[in-house]
Structure 1
């Protein structure tokens, strides 16, 4: 079994889709206000309005992406106007992480695996 996709439920499909298309630097040529599929390098992300009211108190889930250059992505996220939760920080487990909130308040993590040099 493998994960088929991650889906974010929202009442603002176009706004959320535009944010994630800019973040992932992809285009899906859609302006559909009910459902959009965004194909990343290895991830299918859908943004969907199922018709129910959302409270945007997203406290039990986050989304994470692995990146090659955390500083480049950090600058992009700031330009997108996202509220930064944590600036890039080296973690003891060998990554450099940062986090921010998407337009609906979901927590998004970016991580860069550090290259460990041994002599």
Structure 2
């Protein structure tokens, strides 16, 4: 098998405009809209794709269901998680964990987007964690 590259993570939502606006506000990245039903927020290291439920028609019935994720955390490396907390707490009341230094050396902020997806903003703070993400 040849090389495999993770290109993006896609969230399916029933309210694409709301969810795209949330992630634009949370990350400071402006989405690029391909159609009214599909947008991408891209940086040099990742692409978060957001598709409306109407995009599922191409894949078949029952393939994905919006606002039902209970097994994945979408993680963003940020410069200063405490500064981001000030922004995030103005965007959502669903703060799962305020900025906390974890045993593995990252300072993490866990919150939910408007569809209930679990999001982690983190900043490496220990020397080991800083080296990992240098």
Matched, 1:34 2:1: no
Matched, 1:88 2:99: yes
Matched, 1:109 2:112: no
Partner Cα distance (2:68, 2:32) in 1? 30
The structure that is helix-richer by fraction is 2
- Deviation readout 1:58-103 (Å, 9 max, x if unpaired): 1111200111101111111011134100001111111111100000
Indicate the residue corresponding to 1:46 in structure 2.
49
Considering only aligned residues, what root-mean-square deviation do their CA atoms show, in Å?
2.2
After superposing the two structures, state which structure 1 stretch, 77-86 or 48-57, moved more. 48-57
Q: Give structure 1 stretches of 5+ with no counterpart.
A: none
Q: Give structure 2 stretches of 5+ with no counterpart.
A: 57-63, 128-134
Partner Cα distance (1:77, 1:33) in 2? 26
Match of 1:79, SS state, is coil
TM-score by length of 1: 0.86
Partner Cα distance (1:108, 1:4) in 2? 19
Task: Count how many residue pairs are aligned between Structure 1 and Structure 2.
Answer: 117
